[in-house]
Every structure is written in C-alpha cells, then in structure tokens.
Structure 1
Amino acid sequence: MTTTAPSGFRTHEVFNQAPPRVDVNEYTSNVPLVEGVARYDADWAQHELTEVGALVGTESFQHDAELANTITPEFHSHDKWGNRIDEVEFHPAYHRIIGAAVEHGAHTSAWADPKPGANVARAASFMMFAQIEPGHSCPISMTHSVVPALAEFSPELSELWLPRLYGRGYDGRLIAPGDKPGVLFGMAMTEKQGGSDVRANTTRAAQNSDGTWSLTGHKWFCSAPMSDGFLILAQSPEGMSCFL
C-alpha cells in the first residue's frame, strides 16, 4: 500500500481556537473605558482615542510588538572607528511603536494641553499602547512623570526642557537632544543594595568647582537607557537628592 503525507504535513484541522484578535478597535470595543472617559470630563478626546484604538488593534502594530520583544537589543560600546559611544541598538519595530505613542501624546499631552479630563485622556491612550507592547511604556510613563518634578526642580531647566518634552516628534538616534523634535526622559533610582528603599542608596554626589555635580555609584536599574535625559538619585552632603 502506498501512502502520501498530507499537504504541508498537517495532521488535523484545529477548530476550537479563538481567532486572531486583529482589526479590533481596542477603544470602542472597551465599553467601560469609553464610559469612563466620558464620565470624567474627557469626552472631547473620543476621536483621538478611537484612532489610537484602531492603530493598536492592527496586525502590523501587533507584529511590531512581537518583534520588539523577541529581537534582543544590542549594546555597542564603540563605533567602527573606535570611538566610545555606549549605544543600545533597538529593532526598528521598537522605534515605530514608541514613535506612535509619542505622536498621539501618550507621554506628555496632559501637561502640554492642560484642561478638564486631560489626564484621563492621556491615561486611556497610554493604557491602549501599553496593553499591546508594555516595554516602551516605561520611558513614555517616565517622561509623563518627570514634567511636574522638573517644574518643581528648577525654573531654568524647565524653560529649557519642557518645550522638548511636549514635542510630538520622535527621533531614536543617538544625537543631541536639542537636535530632536522631541525628547524622552528616563530615571535611574534603585541600586543593588537598596532595591525599592532608595534611602539605602550609596551613590555619592560631589559638587564641582563649576557648579555641576559628579556622581559615583552603581545603579541596578535604568529606565530607559537610550533616553535623552535622566533623573538620578544620589547622596549629597545634605542627604538624598535628585539630579538631572
């Protein structure tokens, strides 16, 4: 008796799996979210949020999310000419995702255009991006969080950085922040011996003769290493302080 393998070596038909969740608007299909946005003064954001919901529900966006999490970032200490660069190279899919989040204001829209419901609308947009690809949400969230801290930190620095933080453009290259259409902030807070207890941090801060500070220590976690600016905790002579 002669037998032949089924086409493609398929053993049997699978009939009890859920269909792919693609081309589903992740905003309009989320009734509690839609109602919450309207209830808490952000009804004006329905159009923008509907656009975000359609975007993150596409097959191409979901594929980018998979690529960003399966193709590991690569660290390059030097360029091809031997210059020290300390660059982390991400897959282009990561840049497409984070660029879309910035374009739709998931980072700082609530501060750039403050009005009733602004934080609700930003949170809804942020949530939809994060539920598809959570990794990029850390620098996006940090950038949102840094605005009030920076405003309290220094009026001079706020004047310099806030317009850049409010930008809706994204450039993932390792170039000067002033040459970019917008910037992202990261934070380096925790240390090996301290964990979440930042009071136990041992990074030391010493003031230089020109008024700047030099920090010496070893941070356990940094979010995210290719950001344009950072807030860093260190022990100054007066105690725990925050540095930019």
Structure 2
Amino acid sequence: MTAPRFNRILLKLSGEVLMGQGQFGIDPATCERVALEVKEAIETGLQVCMVVGGGNIFRGLAGAAQGFDRASADYMGMLATVMNALAMQNAMEKIGVQTRVQSAIPMASVCEPYIRRRAERHMEKGRVVIFAAGTGLPFFTTDTTAALRAAEMNCDALFKGTSVDGIYDADPKKVPTAKRYDSLSYDRVLADNLKVMDASAVALCRDNNIPIVVFNIRDEGNLSAVLCGEGASTIVQNETASA
C-alpha cells in the first residue's frame, strides 16, 4: 500500500455496515474486517478517528415515527452508537490497534468523556479515537457529528463508508442506468438535495473546507484503495478543487 494522500482523516461508518449480512445487531466478523483495514491505514502513518452510527440497533428518527418522543428517541440512538463504538474498539484492540472511545454523554465506567485536546493527543500517539453518543444533544445526526468532529480534529478529509461506491444522480439499486459522479461541489450536493449527508453536515464541511469522500466500505480492501486514490468513490469539495 502506498502512502495515503491525507495525514489525518475521520472515518464515518453507518451502523448498518456493522450488521454484515444480518438484519440487526453487530456482526463480529464485519467489525474485524473493518478494523484490519483501519490498521493497514494507520500503519502508513495516517491518523484516524471515527464516528459510528447506531442504525443497526436503534435509529432516533424511526423511533420518533413510531411514537417515541423525538428527544428521548435520539438519546436512545446515541446509546446505540456507544455500543457500536465499544464493539469496534474491541475488534481493533484484538489486532493490536490502540483505541480510545470518547462519549459526548459522560459514562466514566465505560469510556472517556469527549475532550478535544485529549483526543488530539491520542491521535498524535497513533491511537484511533472513536467518537460516540453523537454530539450529546438530540436533533443532530451522526453525519453532523462526523462533520463537527472532523472540523474540531483538523482532519484533512471526512471519509463516509456506505453500501454504494459514491454519489449517483439516482438510486443505483433502483435505477441501473444511474450515473456516478467522480467529483461534486458542496453547493451542488445541497442544491440538488443529493442526500449523501444531511444538509447541516455538508454545510459544515463546506465552511471548513473539509472534503467528503463517499465510498463503499462493504467491499473488502476498498478503504485502502480509496485512500490511495485508486478505488471508486465520489469526492465532495469546493468548486475550485473539483473543477
């Protein structure tokens, strides 16, 4: 693997990725595979932090739609992200990657509280930091959390691992002729409502000039390939860079 183009990245994983081929919960084999890819990346000298969603366990919006109070449902979703973060920490430490989980909701018996400067210090020492419990506030998605933490950590890019290999002009699972974009501007994503991330997350990345790289994390080895500029992906960046 050649040296990556970035020095520090935030990797955003949806909770659904951790289900593997299942319909619910956490698949240990998938956690291990993702952990091995992260390990390969940091062995090049790349600094990595992560945000993991909780949709494989509980999704706040879905809970609210079923009658839960929205704030309560969001807090439940935040707790689900802590479970996923601990699962990823376990997978990475089993293969020798030092990892710290920091939660925006303090739970001292389980993990560290979120402290920005402590997180930066962990990354400087080569540890992977997993940010859990979202922002600690309801009504914010883990996409927004990822954009916020990427800005706070001065990351060079936000890598969003999904189940498709980039951003399309239509749902490629429903429209076989859908076109994949290689590069897009933040404003185009917002204007066309492409839904790669929620609007506040895209705007936050735009305002802090943090490229968003969308790729398929379900394909084994794809993280390493995309970091080298070889795998299929879509990059969202300012118009000058994407021109």
TM range, normalised to the smaller chain? under 0.3
TM-score of the superposition, structure 2-length normalised? 0.27
Instruction: Select the structure with the greater relative contact order (CA < 8 A; seq sep ≥ 6).
Output: 2
Q: Which has the higher strand share?
A: 2
Q: Which has the larger radius of gyration?
A: 1
